Every structure is written in C-alpha cells, then in structure tokens.
Chains A and B, each alone.
Chain A
Amino acid sequence: MALRPPELFSRGPAPLARLFFYCALSLACIVVDAHYHQLELFRKALNLLLAPIQTLANSPSQALQAFGKAWDNQSDLQAENQRLRQQLLEQAPQMQQFQSLQADLNTLKQLLQIQQQQFPAGIIAPITGVARNPFTQKIIIGVGANKGLESGSPVLSQEGLVGQVTTVNLFSSEVSLITNKNVVIPLLLTRTGMRTLAFGNGEQGTLSLPYVPMGTDIRAGDVLVTSGIDGLYPEGLSVATVLSVQRDPVSAFAQIRCQPDGAVFKHRQVLVLNRQQTLNPEHTELEQADTAPVPHTRAVRKGRKP
C-alpha cells in the first residue's frame, strides 16, 4: 500500500488546467462579443470602472486646451467672428431658398403619396479622443446614455457624415468612422441618381464602392450623398467625393475610391442625430426607385461582417 505524504500546502488545480480554463473563457468572450454582441452591458460596467482613470488621463490635455483658449488673441477672435458672420450672410440666401424648396418638395411628395421624412433633431457632442486601438477607426465623444444617446445614431461634422454611434457608455460613446471596415452606407450619386453602397477601407482613410458595374457613368469629382434607403441615415447628407475610377477588363465591377467629406480630425465637436423611426416598408423609396439594381443592403452587410 502506497503511503502519501501529508499535504503541506493546498494548491488547487494544476497550472496547466488553470491556463486552459482562462484560455477557454477568453475565447468564449471573443466569440460572444464579436459574433453575438451580447457583452455590451459587461463592457459598460468595465468602462464605468475605468472612467475615473480616464478622466484623470484626459485632464492634462484638457487643461492645456483651456490654457490655450485663455491666451487666444483678441484680434484673432474678432477676425474669426467676422469671418463666421460673413459666412452666415453668404449662406442666408441658400437657406431661404432651401426652406421654400423643402415646402415645394413636401407638397409634391404629398401629391405623390410618398412618405415624408422629417430631418431628425440632434445634440452637439465634444470629441474627447480617438479610440486607442490600431485595428479600428473609432472616435470617442463625451456624451453617452446620460443624454439619451442611442446606438446606431448617425454622426455629422460641418462638412458631412462622419460615422455612426456603435457603443454607448454612461458618460461617453464610441463612434465608428465611415472609413471603418465594418460600416456600410447606402449612397446616391447626385449627378446621375445612381444608388450604390460604400464600404470603408480601414486604415487608408478612404471609401470604396465595390458594386458598381463596369459601364456605369461615374467619374472622379462626382459627389455622393446618403440615399436614406436604410432608414438609418437621413437622405441627402454629404458623404464622399469620388477620387479615382479604374476599369479593369478582368473584373465585372469598376474599382472606385472615394475621399470622405466629413473631416473629423479638424473639429472638436460633432452633431449626433437622433435615430429615425423605422420606415413603413410599403412606402420606402426603394420601390419608387427606377435605377440600376442594387444588392440588398442587409444581405451584403451580413456577408461582410466578421
């Protein structure tokens, strides 16, 4: 009979078993978070835990900004003020025209029994930083669930669409930029009225239009705006300008690169629009459209999501 020496230390499971346990748990987290998006509440809790350290880490740069503001030259401020007034005056006729055009459009839409879209209201949010992750293109804004922000809301700058709110924390939110690989936007080419989809190119900071047939009339300098088909982005927001069009005879589609208009890194603030109500499927513009076939938004999205 083998005698076992008395155990001096209680050791628990073997190190290798522990390692396997934690690795399995990590892999489970990755799968659940990346594919099923079910860990948002947990992520919010972790972010809440980190919030005080984040505030502390942001304070030096904020203090520096405040310091810089205090030392702004009065003549500079006056010049800027004058420039802004001038800009306002220059835009005033267009604005007045816009109001009458909007009224005309609404009347016409009523006659044609097309559902009218109200441009949603929004809140102005300060940009507090860039997400510290070299794999994604995201910015952090200083407004969260405390101001009633919702995941999925479109985010604009002065020049155009910037992105979409993807994670809402209590006091901050993450905005995925339109150059992010996972963001898809349904677009309208203003010159020809063609509808298409834009995908982000990731790190390069450009967009590409992968589903435009070879023979389509599109050229560098064309302006792309949101088409409003998905019911997420309101119609007519400026998104991008076509940079280059390459027609490779081997491929069925043209290779098109676009430059986003919403220059997010120039500004300190962005506008977050409220989410629109879901459109009544019987009255979406998709059915009224008589343009080239567009792949179904949702199917394409599903295919592209990692």
Chain B
Amino acid sequence: MAHFSQDPQILQRPVTLQRVLTSFLLAFLFMLLPWQGTFLLLRPDLLLLLLLYWSVHEPRVLGGWSAFALGLLADAADSSVLGIHALGYSLSYALALQYRQRILTFYRLDQALHVLPLVLLSQVVTAGVMFFLKTPQPHWIWWLQTPLTTLLWTLLPFWLDRQNTTQAEPPRAA
C-alpha cells in the first residue's frame, strides 16, 4: 500500500513481511539485553513502538492476532504473568488502527503527541493488572518509560522511512 509521506516528492514502497519481522527480532534483542536496576525501569518499550508504527503505516501487514502474540512473547521474555502485555498491546494496537488516518496527517512531533497516550495506556494496563494481583508497584521512575518510548517515535520512523522510500522522479520541465 503506497502512500505519500510528509514530503510529497517521496513515494513509499509497500513494506515486505521480512522487514517487519526483522524489526521485531531487533526489538526482542533489545528487550532481552541484560537490563538491571534503574536501566530496567527506564527501558523503552521498543516492541510496542514498532507495533504502533507498523499498524499506522502498514495496517494490512499485521492483524490483531500479532499484537496479542507479541504481547504473550513479551510476557514470557519479562517473566511476568502471561497476558498482561498482550492485553495492553491489543488495546493500543486497536486504537492506533482507529486513528491511523488522523495520525498520518501530522508531522512527526505532533504524531508523537498521539502516540504518548497509546503507550501510556499499555503501561496503565500493566500497572492496573499488577495492582489487582496485589503486587507492589515499582519505583515512580518506571513511569518515565512512556515519555522515553514516545521520544523514540520521533527518531524511529526516520530510520524506517529511509529504509522504505524511493525518490520519486522529479517533475519534467514542460
């Protein structure tokens, strides 16, 4: 599904499944690094970010099941209760899909403002479920994950767009 990005001279190629899968593999690699202490609390949720990116830019490649499956894998990777990330990711993914046309009309920084509540939603779901399971809440620094993840939204599309675009032919002089 080709569409124009912010610069109308640049036409985007439809993404290949291989590229999507590679990006998720890299996100898992980032997630599974030996994080500890404060760094663990601050680790941005790259997986959710990529999920939102692909759902906004290439809604036909992923389905709702992929948000659920990625969430389950994230739960296993984080050794948390199975289903917590799956619930948060499913909700964020559905909302991103709903508002994708609107998000695409903005520039990157304004897009990030739309992404912030989606990432926050996933974190609130996690905190809420843990609250109901009577698990003590982590240090407040943990909530900085959302702004950090959102900040990455302003950088990540830059790289992914570049991988994915081709320069359109310049208009011919009449």
Q: Is the CB of A29 within 8 A of B135?
A: no
Task: Report the number of A-B residue pairs with Cβ-Cβ less than 8 Å.
Answer: 128
Measured in the bound complex, the distance between the Cα atoms of B81 and A53 in whole Å is: 21
Contacts of B84 in A (CB 8 A): 26, 30
Given contacts A18-B64, A47-B76, A135-B138, contact A26 B130 (CB under 8 A): no
Q: Once the chains bind, are A56 and B90 in contact (CB under 8 Å)?
A: no
Which of under 10, 10 to 19, 20 to 34, or 35 or more describes the interface residues of A? Answer: 35 or more
Of B64, B77, B82, B137, which contacts A39 at CB under 8 A? B82
Contacting residues, chain A, for B64 (C-beta < 8 A): 15, 18-19, 21-22
Residues of A near any B CB (own CB < 8 A):
15-16, 18-19, 21-23, 25-30, 32-34, 39, 42-43, 46-47, 49-50, 53-54, 56-58, 61, 129-136, 138, 140, 167, 174, 181, 202-203, 306
Excluding A19-B94, A134-B40, 13 further A-B contacts by CB distance (< 8 Å) are A15-B64, A26-B86, A42-B82, A46-B75, A50-B73, A50-B76, A54-B77, A57-B29, A57-B34, A133-B78, A134-B41, A203-B139, A306-B133
Smallest distance from the beta carbon of B78 to chain A beta carbons, Å? 5
Closest B residue to A182 by CB, please name it. Answer: B135
The DSSP consensus for interface residues of chain B is: helix
* Contact in complex: B136, A203 (CB < 8 Å): yes
Give 10 closest A-B pairs by Cβ, nearest first: A29-B83, A46-B76, A26-B87, A134-B138, A30-B83, A57-B32, A306-B134, A22-B90, A202-B136, A19-B94
Which of the residues B40, B68, B77, B135 comes within 8 Å of A130, measured between beta carbons?
B40
Interface mask (B62-77 → A, CB under 8 Å = 1, otherwise 0): 0011011001110111
Convert B111-147 into 0s and 1s, putting 1 for each residue whose CB lies closer than 8 angstroms to a CB of A. 0000000000000000001100111111100100000
Chain A residue numbers with a CB within 8 Å of B142 are: 134
Cβ-closest chain A residue relative to B35: A132
In the complex, how many angstroms separate the beta carbon of A170 from the nearest chain B beta carbon?
Answer: 13
Number of B residues with CB within 8 Å of any CB on chain A: 46
A33 contacts B83, CB within 8 Å?
yes
Report B-chain residues with C-beta under 8 Å of the C-beta of A21: 64
Cβ distance A26 to chain B, nearest Cβ, rounded Å: 4
Cβ contact within 8 Å between B81 and A56: no
Are B83 and A28 interface neighbours, CB within 8 A?
A: yes
Give the residues in chain B near A135, CB-CB below 8 Å: 80, 130, 135-138
Q: Which residues of A contact B61 (CB under 8 A)?
A: none
User: A16, A43, A53, A135: which has the most chain B beta carbons within 10 Å?
Assistant: A135
